[in-house]
Amino acid sequence: MITSSSKVVVLGHASVGKSSLVLRFCKGQFFEYQEPTVGAAFLTKSIPFGNEEAKMEIWDTAGQERYHSLARMYYRGAYAAVIVYDITNKESFIKAKEWAKELHQQIPEEINIVLVGNKSDLESLRTVSFDEASDYAKSSGYIFLETSAKTGENVDDVFFSLAEKLPKTP
Ligand code: GDP
């Protein structure tokens, strides 16, 4: 299966679990201490696509402000963005909304967005309600999921939900 672009970029505040989500999905691994990403890195994964398979290129970006302009370089060629926040960190939710706004301002063409509330295993520490995030996503036209890179909950769904939106070459 040949697709024109299968690049997905993962954006969000530092420490929300971007690297952990990518690693969980692509390699089935999780580490309590995950090395911070410097700049950006990508992993590939074959995903079901109709009766065939497509290769998804998943770009993990660094959340630190000093790498912000680098992230911009990476989301340019992407057909989809996964914007991650941490359900125990309100500030990271505010940042997620800023990322979404920036994408709309910077990218002229339409981009598929999945909003992800990660660390759903830390329910007792939750500060961002499911309904608040879900309402925001719905009104913006984004797919919304809560995940745990630690337990693996919903992680595959994040990327599989984008498989059906893969751009096809004529
Ligand atoms: P990034 O900076 O957004 O890439 O975040 P990392 O993937 O480096 O994760 C930051 C920290 O959060 C690490 O200590 C991870 O082990 C931890 N972490 C990531 N995802 C989860 C999760 O779903 N649940 C819990 N409890 N911890 C997580």
- For the segment 56-98, what is each residue's pLDDT rounded down to a tens digit? 999 988 766 666 777 777 888 899 999 999 999 999 999 999 9
Report the pLDDT value the prediction gives residue 164, as an integer from 0 to 100: 80
Q: Which two tokens stand for residue 100?
A: 């979404």
What is residue 65's predicted lDDT score, i.e. its pLDDT? Answer: 62
Q: Measuring from atom 26 of ligand 1, which residue has the nearest CA?
A: 119
pLDDT computed for residue 63 by the predictor: 63
Residues 89 and 101: their CA atoms lie apart, in Å, by 19
In the reported structure, the alpha carbon of residue 135 is separated from the centroid of ligand 1 by a whole-number distance in angstroms of: 25
Give residues (CB < 6 A) around ligand 1. Answer: 12, 14-20, 31-34, 36-37, 63, 118-119, 121-122, 148-150
Q: Which of 46, 43, 104 is nearest to 75 (CA)?
A: 104
Prediction ipTM score: 0.99
Q: How far is the CA of 108 from the centre of ligand 1 (A)?
A: 32
Q: Which of 140, 149, 162, 29 is nearest to 84 (CA)?
A: 149
Strand pairing class (52-61; 40-49): antiparallel
How far apart are the CA of 33 and the centre of ligand 1, in A? Answer: 8
Q: Which of 9, 34, 64, 83 to mutate to test the pocket of ligand 1 (most atoms within 8 A of CB)?
A: 34
DSSP string, 75-129: HHT-SEEEEEEETT-HHHHHHHHHHHHHHHHH-SS--EEEEEEE-TT-GGG--S-
Predicted model pTM: 0.92
Give the model's pLDDT for residue 72.
Answer: 77
Structure tokens at 134: 């879900």
pLDDT at 64: 62
| Residue segments in the chain with a per-residue pLDDT below the cut of 70 | 1-5, 36-40, 63-67, 168-170
Going by alpha carbons, the residue nearest to atom 10 of ligand 1 is 15
Tell the residue nearest (CA) to atom 25 of ligand 1: 119
Geometric angle at alpha carbon 93, from 91 and 96, rounded to 5° = 115
What radius of gyration do the chain's Cα atoms show?
A: 15
Sign of CA dihedral 98, 102, 105, 111: negative
Rounded to 5 degrees, φ, ψ at 40 are -155, 155
